[in-house]
Structure 1
Amino acid sequence: MSASLKNKMGSAITYLILVMTTIVVLYPVFWVVTGSMNPGDSLFSTKLIPKSLSFKHYVYLFQETDYLLWYKNTLKIAFWNMIFSTFLVVTAAYAFSRFRFPGRKQGLMGMLILQMFPGFMGMIAIYILLLQLNLLDNHWGLILVYAGGSIPFGAWLVKGYFDGLPRSLEEAAKIDGANHIQIFYKIMMPLSRPMLVFIAVNNFIGPWMDFIFARLVLRSQENKTLAIGLFEMVTGRTNTEFTTFAAGAVLVAIPITILFFLFQNQMVEGLKAGANKG
């Protein structure tokens, strides 16, 4: 068998695998989108390709449920978590990367060990802590939990990126009279834009899709998030509102899709930079 034939066969197999993977990934998405526009209500009456399309489920979400309130609550939590988490992660990473202080190695090792345990292992401790701080059923209590939980993984990733930046830039800035705060904001931040975008988008997506901690902390109807509201929409109802649930799921994906298309280049660059320089 000639080398050119082998290359063609290898390319054909690669494309076949990619096509099959694409079908497997997009099939559930297509099913949910078409399901949200099925005239019926239950899972059993839903068809992959409906005879007619209806948007009544989207109208029902906004007129008959608290979906818009859930959406606002989730957007608020995700946005402020993105701000606080990114700030905490980047400042912690800069400190561990550029400063030498007692307990530095132990702190890094502690963050590394914390990543080995799933977050829900501390649910009882988090619940008791928020109860003592009077932050149960409070969006800010949930934001604090998310922000603190993002530090170990994010700080390690950003620290690896900062370690790869030349120290000569900071030394030159110090000679010109710049202090650490000026160096951080005027030199390190502009050079770290891809990594910052990656961390910010990840910290937005996490709370947007989370159910476990939101379910633990939030109790009242007016504080519920999208995950809690949509879950309760179909729980114990034998899938009688599947199409409405599908309509809500489609709308949930819109902000994440927009963020991905806007920042996909920076996210890929940031992920590659953190992996290569970590």
Structure 2
Amino acid sequence: MPVDTSPADASEPPVIAVVGPTGSGKSELAVELALELDGEVINADSMQFYRGMDIGTAKISVPDRRGVPHHLLDVLQVTEEASVSDYQRQARAVVADIHGRGKRAILVGGSGLYIRAALDVLDFPGTDPGIRARLETELQESGSATLLERLRTIDPVSAGRLGDTRRMVRALEVFELTGRPFSSFMPTREYFRPAVQIGLEVDREMLRERLAQRVHGMVASGLLSEVERLDAAGLRHGRTAPRALGYAQFLRVLDGETDIAQAADATIVATRQFSRRQLTWFRADPRISWLGWQDPALVSKAARLCR
């Protein structure tokens, strides 16, 4: 499906985005808004793209969708790599389709870069499998310190920001391909088409407890069995899916390196850390309107912002 790159019509309603940390109730609010505004939901959680990754990603169930169409859920096999540039193309095409049918498009998710890829003016450099393979081989042979030092000389901004070797390799690949530092491709806060972003303001201590309870609920619901089934389908061989919260920890249970209780504790810690990073990311965007996650009037206030 081609991407609609034309400017939005002045009469077109803004794209709605519901954002915030994991466990804050984004999916539920998105469904309520869709029912209130005659909308359809577009997933912007990078791990919910994967078929079969349901329990560990807290993917909204079909009954809980309450008849609201949900797009870009279950679109990848666990062996496939999630791509922000592919998502940008797909999400914008879905937005154009939804608006073309006179309905409201509602993005929902906590993957900040994916939200911005859909909403903001943002170009993505291409990829070159040969360059990437060479850099990954060099990483294995020489170690991350050598590549990090090279990145510092050509792109000190990215060198200071990137927290894992995968992103480091990507930054070096982009420089070889384009001659531009990876950091120069970072998005500006300029909407591609009109948008309204609603953030869920949380009580951090309550969220910490909710996240712990959610992980224990996932374990009780069969997370280990889900990971075992996905492992048989090639989970370990994917580039993106095996790093998902919970899945990485419970693969170690299958390997006999830890037990279920330890894996659950490790998942809780990792999930809490991730929620803090999400809050930092979204708090940096002044365009987001924040509403209390437990406000009894949350749906009506959010709908008012969207009208």
- TM superposition score category, shorter chain reference: under 0.3
Q: Which is greater in Rg?
A: 1
Q: Which has the higher contact order (CA 8 A, sep 6+)?
A: 1
Higher helix share: 1
Higher strand share: 2
Please report the TM-score for the alignment, with normalisation by the length of structure 1: 0.25
Please report the TM-score for the alignment, with normalisation by the length of structure 2: 0.23
